[in-house]
Amino acid sequence: MHILFLTHYFPPEVNAPATRTYENARRWVRAGHRVTIITCAPNHPRGVVYPGFSNRIWQRDENDGIRVLRVFTYLSANKGFLKRTANYISYMFSATLLCSLVQGVDVVVSTSPQFFCGMAGFWVSRLKRRPWVLEIRDLWPESIITVGAIKQRRIIKMLEKLESFLYLKADHIVSVTRSFKLHIIKKGVMPERISVVTNGADFDKFNPLPKQNDTSKEFGLEDKFVVSYIGTHGMAHSLQTVLKAANLLKTEKQIVFLLVGDGAERDNLVKEKEALGLENVLMLPQQPKEKMPEFLAASDACMILLKKSDLFKTVIPSKIFETMAMERPIILGVEGESREIIEKAKSGLCIEPENHQQLAEAVLRLYNDPKLSESLGRNGRRFVKDNFDRDKLAETYLGILQQVHRG
């Protein structure tokens, strides 16, 4: 079977959507199938093309047997509504127009957010006369409304109509959470046309490692109690909560808050850190994906945080699974389905989102109770191994695509 997969993000980009697509696709190739990705020149989140690539009309490369077709897009940093929209729309047109470079396709998959990538999948499937699977990784436009990125009712209405159109036109929908599936059903889609395939952990890459490693030595973290946040520094994550908690714990000289990543809010966070004089906060730019296991191993606890919102009760941040696989306790500031996982696994401490006082208290609790930290870490590893193994999830996903292909 030849799977044509449309995604805005793909390695060497290191965000969650790029990782999910790559990890599934390489397993499908390993299972004997052909996979072609249509994506952009890597540029997330700064809107600057990575070294070794260029933003040409089209270019090809290959990654672990996955064939990659990179198409021209209007480049923009991951902020600013109009420029980001131009970025999304340009990808939609380029992917649709240049899909003719990919022949012998059996099934088309496109992943959302954002819905312009979803729409590209619709048009490509029509041109190829092949079934189309829409993957929903986030609820759009709800997520951008929640963080205040758009407020104009006319634009919101237009995006909501586009959302419903795509749900109803897809031959099948793959959702990453149960909550997303319920939302889509409310939009009029029959439940049997929706499958849930969550994110998971890649046990080829994420396994427990010693805290003392090259990364901990490089950044002087060997003798510190390290509380890390690794990922996008965006409007949805409310990382000001971390800075406020760090401010409360300034006198605890052994505790260091580590923030690793990039995003629309990073510059503001750096300024706020400097204004507060927080010597107990270390902020590092985005790091290569292959270094993530060492950063997680260097951490004594990992924070997973989102803004307090009903919408975010429906999401499951993918970093939950990688953190659990590394046997690191989680401090979770997310409600809903994510909290259910942590509580069921007994793998972390749950706090109210955006509550810096509770965050500081959770950090102190783990700092003062190493046995609790070790127990939470072991529980998480065991639970994710049993329930969220990327190999098994990719196999399930492949079975869905084969069934859609057969009709």
Q: For 286-314, write each residue's pLDDT tens digit.
A: 998 899 999 999 999 999 999 998 888 98
Please, which pLDDT band fits residue 113 given cuts at 50, 70 and 90? confident
Neighbours of 300 (CB within 10 A): 22
Cβ pair 230, 262 in contact under 8 A: no
Structure tokens, 333: 């500031």
CA distances from residue 379 to 193, 311, 348 in whole angstroms, order as listed: 34, 28, 9
Q: Whole-prediction pTM value?
A: 0.90
Write the burial class of residue 29 (CB in 10 Å: 0-12 exposed, 13-18 middle, 19+ buried): middle
Quick check: 73 pLDDT over 70? yes
Q: How far from chain centre, in Å, is Cα 186?
A: 25
Q: Quick one: residue 353, left, alpha or beta (phi over 0 = left, psi -120 to 50 = alpha)? A: beta
Largest CA distance in the chain: 64
pLDDT attached to residue 139: 76
Write the burial class of residue 338 (CB in 10 Å: 0-12 exposed, 13-18 middle, 19+ buried): buried
Q: Which amino acid is at 272?
A: E
- Alpha-carbon gap, residue 78 to 80, rounded angstroms: 7
- Alpha-carbon gap, residue 314 to 334, rounded angstroms: 10
Q: For 218-247, write each residue's pLDDT tens digit.
A: 999 999 999 999 999 988 899 999 999 999
Segment 327-331 mean pLDDT: 98
Quick check: 6 pLDDT over 60? yes
Cβ pair 1, 105 in contact under 8 A: no
- Give the chain's domains with CATH numbers: 2-200+389-406 (3.40.50.2000), 214-387 (3.40.50.2000)
Q: For 246-255, write each residue's pLDDT tens digit.
A: 999 999 999 9
- Alpha-carbon gap, residue 273 to 276, rounded angstroms: 5
12 upstream amide cis, omega within 30 of 0? yes
Cβ pair 67, 49 in contact under 8 A: no
pLDDT attached to residue 36: 98
Cβ pair 7, 18 in contact under 8 A: yes
Percent of the chain with pLDDT over 70: 95
Q: How far from chain centre, in Å, is Cα 277?
A: 31
Q: How does the average pLDDT of the chain come out, rounded?
A: 93
Q: For 17-40, write each residue's pLDDT tens digit.
A: 999 999 999 999 999 999 999 999
Give 290's contacts (C-beta < 8 A, 6+ positions apart): 205
Percent of the chain with pLDDT over 90: 81
- Alpha-carbon gap, residue 353 to 333, rounded angstroms: 4
Q: For 185-231, write each residue's pLDDT tens digit.
A: 998 999 999 999 999 999 999 999 999 999 999 999 999 999 999 99
pLDDT, greater one: 15 or 22: 22
Rg (CA), the chain: 21
Nearest to 183 by CA among 18, 17, 313, 341: 313
Mutual angle of helices 16-30 and 390-406, in 10-degree steps: 70
Please spell the DSSP secondary structure of 152-164, one letter per residue.
-HHHHHHHHHHHH
pLDDT attached to residue 164: 85
